[in-house]
Amino acid sequence: MNNKTVMGLMLTGFFSLSGPHVTARTVTGQEPAASTKSGQVASDQDIQLLRKNIRSQKKQLIAANLTLTAAEATKFWPIYDQYEAEYAKIGDTKLALIKEYAQNLDTATDQQSLDYLKRSEEISESVIQLRERYVPIVSEVLPGKKTAIFFQLERRIEMLLDVEVASLLPPLQSQGQ
């Protein structure tokens, strides 16, 4: 089985095993993290479990597609765990922004809309900066090609997850002049 097939199967598992798809619509009178397509409210605890499952699946996907010697693995996985802990903090910020966006979906002002855009770009920049900080760290324990493969996998997974989230978030509703 080639890497593309493995990656495709893992990502299919990502989304099917991670539970119901979550959208950013709120239920009147409640302040949930999000609601499912069926209208059920997803609690913060549900979302945390989903994120934990995604992190686990992501690690498995990287392990399946990044061939490491025993010596490389011993050095790489602690760095990976540290990287993921920092990445999760950025994810916390992203989740908070998504929640805020969801709460104001139908009532966002022009200024709030611009603020969401600015904050979203700042989050993206934080991820880029995190990767830039970790490239030399990872390249100390892995050869250049394996370092590149790791960050390629990392970026592809992030893009796929971003597409999934974006497909579930409706645009702001008020588009009046």
pLDDT tens digits, one per residue of 67-119: 999 999 999 999 999 999 999 999 889 988 988 888 888 888 889 989 999 99
Per the structure block, which two tokens stand in for 121?
A: 């770009």
Model confidence over 163-177: pLDDT tens digits?
A: 877 777 777 665 554
Residue 122 exposure: Cα atoms within 13 Å on the Cβ side: 9
Provide mean pLDDT across the span 54-79: 93
Q: Name the band, by pLDDT with cuts 50, 70 and 90, for residue 149.
A: very high
Q: For residues 154 and 145, what is the distance between their CA atoms, to the nearest angstrom?
A: 14
| Closest among 171, 141, 157, 125 to 57, alpha carbons compared | 157
Provide mean pLDDT across the span 18-31: 35
pLDDT confidence of residue 87:
94
Q: Name the band, by pLDDT with cuts 50, 70 and 90, for residue 7.
A: very low
Q: For residues 151 and 130, what is the distance between their CA atoms, to the nearest angstrom?
A: 11
Q: For residues 147 and 135, what is the distance between their CA atoms, to the nearest angstrom?
A: 7
Per the structure block, which two tokens stand in for 14?
A: 């990502």
Provide mean pLDDT across the span 21-43: 41
